[in-house]
Chain A
Amino acid sequence: MESVDWGFVLEQTLIQALGLNAAVYAIAAIGLNMHFGYAGLLNFGQAGFVAMGAYGMGIAVNQWGYPVWVAVLMGMLFSVGFAVLLGLPTLRLRADYLAIVTIAAAEIVRLVARSTALRDITRGAEGLNEFIGPFREFNPFNPSATYGIWFVQYRGNTFFAVVIGWTLAALFVLITYLLIRSPWGRVVKAIREDELAARALGKNAYRFKMQALIIGGVMGGFAGMVDAIGKATVQPDFFGAALTFFFWLVLILGGVGRVWAPIAGSILYWGLITFVQNTGRQLVDNGVIRTTIMDTNQIDQIRFWVVGGALALLMVYRPQGIFGSREEMALDAR
């Protein structure tokens, strides 16, 4: 008896590594790279930005019946508003304060979104489920057909979101590249290195940090919008604190402060997680691992151990990520 169906595991791994989740994580991590990799901002609340994008867009269609383009604009506006709200009190303070406030703020967003108090707007714990129609009208792919290469196949509706996702990811990498090689990017990197020096040279550090926070946050918002379009739903509990930590791992895996690293990191991350999970499940299902030791639910929890362990170990032993070189990275700045 075959204990693991490797063909199936490989198929699943590739589908996930190139799929919707990977694209969404890549986009969010590109935003995080702008925050942490270039501007040195410790944003531990990227999930909040993602939620803002998803809810902004979802509410506009689901609750208020606005057209798609207004909805996307609203997703962006929500993210911008969140960035400004977070940045105002914290960007003049030491970096750790931003870390604490962002993680708290992201949690606030989730709690408020799922509260009954705002149920008329956010639909509480059930989330937004009736907004996908107008978006699907733009779908050029046949929903009942599958698309892809080789055995990496996606259904038409998913494929639509996957295409949007990777296109946006590529666009955001390009924008990051253009920004970072410009004088603006020079100032932002200088602030990351030493804020006082930048200020002594006449740079309004506060303004630049705010701009970087907004740009990365809007990218995060787009991650939420793509996710919502791909899954046809916005669920408040998707935006928990753990989501932010996954983005961090994606960023660190790829290499902090490298333009295209979030894409590589995301593909790697989803490939790895799917591989471990599917192999584990099969080992349990086929009786190689006895259920007294571990059941399939518990296999899914192992994912968090892998993420946590990888995060800690990479940070200590290979802070430049898998692909980075040690020289230009923001991490040992302190």
Chain B
Amino acid sequence: MEMPGRPRTAMLFVAAILFFLLPTVAAFAQDSENVATRITVEDETGERVPVEGVAITVTDDQGNEVGAGATDAEGVFMLEVPEAGTYQLLLDDTTLPEGVSLTNSDRNPATVILREGQTGATIFALTSGDAVAAGGGVTLRQIAQLTVEGIKFGLFIAMAAIGLSLIFGTTGLVNFAHGELIGWGMLMAYFFNFYGLAGVFGWMASWPPPFGGGVNVIFAAVIAMVLGGALGWLLDAVIFSKLRARGVGLISQMVVTIGLSLILRYFFLFGFGGSPRFYQDYTAQSAIHIGIIDITPKDLVISGLSVLILIGVGLFLIMTRWGKAMRAVSDNRDLAESSGIDVQKVIRYVWVMGAGLAALGGVFDSLAETVRWDLGFRILLLVFAGVVLGGLGTAFGALVGSVIVGIGIQLSTVWLPTELKNVGALALLALVLIVRPQGLLGRRERVG
């Protein structure tokens, strides 16, 4: 893990904070724009079938109703609105056909950001609950598709989980602010993808990207990872190394991470706002078919990248001096210390590496879905599930556990309503604690 130079890091960090204090979205209002939604439901074969007669209400960001109506035979509802801005589309789910429900009721109302002259579109994904249960029509294709999606999601979770697990292993601290490290990476990538540093320093506008304008999300992801590592470095240098030196107890430190998590999370909301957004690149891709699997090219690429990065981390932990030191400290801190390892330095590197990985995990996950201020916190519990499943404190356990959690979540949708898929994963967590509390790869450490 390479450390960015100190002065530069500090500058970038300050810049990033300033960004949040500025109003982030300007409104362009000229001609009329359209808000549109298409409502379809997937049948057993995976074909999208439009749903007619679903009531939609559109409100502007002041909460005023702009219009309402129902979907046509194509499952489309379109409304002309007076100006660009942010609109909320509320679907009245009582008008849905029998047995059909929203795949993700969190996304109702859906938010549409309209730019000048554009048509803002959104899709309400529906699930036909009975189709699967009644027909017993769980096809091999469905299982394969869900498994692939599960592995993909599991890989993202794993990126964050490794850091969480290593921090726990080396310091004994359960870091409840880890979700914000994920969120931080995502937001930084979004920021550089959209604005570049000129988003803060207007005079940089004529500079080349990433200073004077948005860069491709790939470069933004690299920047985000570096900034993520920098935040990890900062948190350990300014807060947690000091707390350890003061002899503050682990439970107290855990409460400190909770406080930190609240501050950061609502700082994100403060700067970013409550509506989900998208990156500029690769947003609307159609899936390609590989065998019986459908996957978008970007998902394929980021999943591949995740695998490469995780293998790299694994090799780093096994082969390199610092990697070995991390595992040694994680395994037995006292022994490591007495054999001449600089434990504090190792912990600092663990924070940097863990936070950098978490940041990248956040970028990848938000690329696959959407950028939203509380994404980190939403994932955090699943990261915990992965870490506990694999065994608290082990890097490889976290990896294995996360992938299992990812697959479990996706496959559980065969039996559970989609909105409850995370519930299944968390229930699995409780089950593991009963049967094998040390996790799959953990050492036995419970008493009686």
With known contacts A96-B392, A103-B381, A316-B243, A311–B430 Cβ distance under 8 A? no
User: Roughly how many angstroms separate A96 CA and B253 CA in the complex, as a whole number?
Assistant: 12
Q: Is B304 an interface residue (CB 8 A)?
A: no
Q: Is B332 an interface residue (CB 8 A)?
A: no
Give the most central of B105, B262, B384, B420: most A CB within 10 Å: B262
Q: Which of B146-154, B244-252, B306-314 contacts A (4 or more CB under 8 A)?
A: B244-252
Q: Is A10 an interface residue (CB 8 A)?
A: no
Write out, one digit per residue, whether chain B residues 177-199 have a CB within 8 A of any chain A CB (1) or not (0). Answer: 00000000000000000000000
Task: Check A108–B423 contact: CB distance below 8 A.
Answer: yes
Number of interface residues of B (CB under 8 A): 55
Q: Which of B248, B253, B420, B437 contacts A117 (CB 8 A)?
A: B420
Q: Is A121 an interface residue (CB 8 A)?
A: no
Within 8 A of A (CB), among B392-448: 392, 416-417, 419-420, 422-423, 426-427, 429-431, 433-434, 437, 445-448
Q: Chain B residues with Cβ under 8 A from A292's Cβ?
A: 23
Q: Chain B residues with Cβ under 8 A from A298's Cβ?
A: 270
Q: In the complex, which residue of chain A has the Cβ closest to the Cβ of B264?
A: A308
Q: Chain B residues with Cβ under 8 A from A316's Cβ?
A: 243, 246, 248, 252, 256
User: Roughly how many angstroms separate A112 CA and B424 CA in the complex, as a whole number?
Assistant: 11
Q: Chain B residues with Cβ under 8 A from A114's Cβ?
A: 105
Q: Is A182 an interface residue (CB 8 A)?
A: no
Q: Which of B21, B259, B392, B423 contacts A311 (CB 8 A)?
A: B259
Q: Is A139 an interface residue (CB 8 A)?
A: no
Q: Chain A residues with Cβ under 8 A from B448's Cβ?
A: 92, 199
User: Roughly how many angstroms separate A103 CA and B255 CA in the complex, as a whole number?
Assistant: 13
Q: Which of A105, A125, A195, A308 contacts B259 (CB 8 A)?
A: A308
User: Roughly how many angstroms separate A261 CA and B425 CA in the complex, as a whole number?
Assistant: 37
User: Roughly how many angstroms separate A97 CA and B388 CA in the complex, as a whole number?
Assistant: 8
Task: Check B256–A89 contact: CB distance below 8 A.
Answer: no
Number of interface residues of A (CB under 8 A): 56
Q: In the complex, which residue of chain A has the Cβ closest to the Cβ of B21?
A: A293
Give the most central of B23, B426, B427: most A CB within 10 Å: B426
Q: Is B366 an interface residue (CB 8 A)?
A: no
Q: In the assembled complex, how far is the CB of residue A52 from the closest CB belonging to chain B, in whole angstroms?
A: 15
Q: Is A265 an interface residue (CB 8 A)?
A: no
Within 8 A of A (CB), among B254-273: 254-256, 258-267, 269-270
Q: Chain A residues with Cβ under 8 A from B434's Cβ?
A: 88-89
Q: In the assembled complex, how far is the CB of residue A193 from the closest CB belonging to chain B, in whole angstroms?
A: 13
Q: Is B303 an interface residue (CB 8 A)?
A: no
Q: In the complex, which residue of chain B has the Cβ closest to the Cβ of A295?
A: B23
Q: In the complex, which residue of chain B has the Cβ closest to the Cβ of A98?
A: B433
Q: Which of A101, A111, A241, A245 contacts B423 (CB 8 A)?
A: A111
With known contacts A89-B430, A89-B433, A94-B446, A309–B385 Cβ distance under 8 A? no
With known contacts A242-B262, A305-B262, A310-B259, A42–B251 Cβ distance under 8 A? yes
Q: In the complex, which residue of chain B has the Cβ closest to the Cβ of A90?
A: B433
Q: In the assembled complex, how far is the CB of residue B92 from the closest CB belonging to chain A, in whole angstroms?
A: 12
With known contacts A97-B388, A116-B419, A331-B251, A308–B263 Cβ distance under 8 A? yes
Q: In the assembled complex, how far is the CB of residue B442 from the closest CB belonging to chain A, in whole angstroms?
A: 12
With known contacts A101-B433, A116-B105, A333-B249, A196–B447 Cβ distance under 8 A? yes
Q: In the complex, which residue of chain A has the Cβ closest to the Cβ of B431?
A: A89
Give the most central of B385, B427, B437: most A CB within 10 Å: B437
Give the most central of A90, A117, A315: most B CB within 10 Å: A315
Q: Chain A residues with Cβ under 8 A from B422's Cβ?
A: 107-108, 111
Q: Is A180 an interface residue (CB 8 A)?
A: no
Q: In the complex, which residue of chain B has the Cβ closest to the Cβ of A111?
A: B423
Q: Chain A residues with Cβ under 8 A from B416's Cβ?
A: 117
Q: Which of A108, A245, A315 contacts B256 (CB 8 A)?
A: A315
Task: Check A304–B420 contact: CB distance below 8 A.
Answer: no
Q: Which of B251, B252, B258, B430 contacts A101 (CB 8 A)?
A: B430
With known contacts A99-B254, A104-B384, A316-B246, A112–B420 Cβ distance under 8 A? yes
Task: Check B269–A301 contact: CB distance below 8 A.
Answer: yes
Q: Is B101 an interface residue (CB 8 A)?
A: yes
Task: Check B250–A304 contact: CB distance below 8 A.
Answer: no
Write out, one digit per residue, whether chain B residues 369-392 have a CB within 8 A of any chain A CB (1) or not (0). Answer: 000000001000100110010001
A-B contact pairs, 21 of them (CB 8 A): A88-B434, A94-B446, A108-B427, A111-B419, A111-B422, A111-B423, A124-B105, A241-B377, A245-B258, A301-B266, A304-B263, A304-B265, A305-B267, A308-B259, A308-B262, A309-B259, A312-B258, A315-B248, A316-B246, A331-B251, A334-B249
Closest A-B pairs by Cβ, 4 of them: A308-B262, A312-B259, A311-B259, A304-B266
Further 19 A-B residue pairs, CB within 8 A, beyond A94-B446, A305-B263: A89-B433, A93-B433, A95-B251, A96-B174, A96-B254, A107-B381, A108-B422, A112-B423, A196-B447, A245-B259, A301-B270, A307-B262, A308-B258, A308-B263, A309-B259, A310-B259, A312-B256, A312-B258, A316-B248
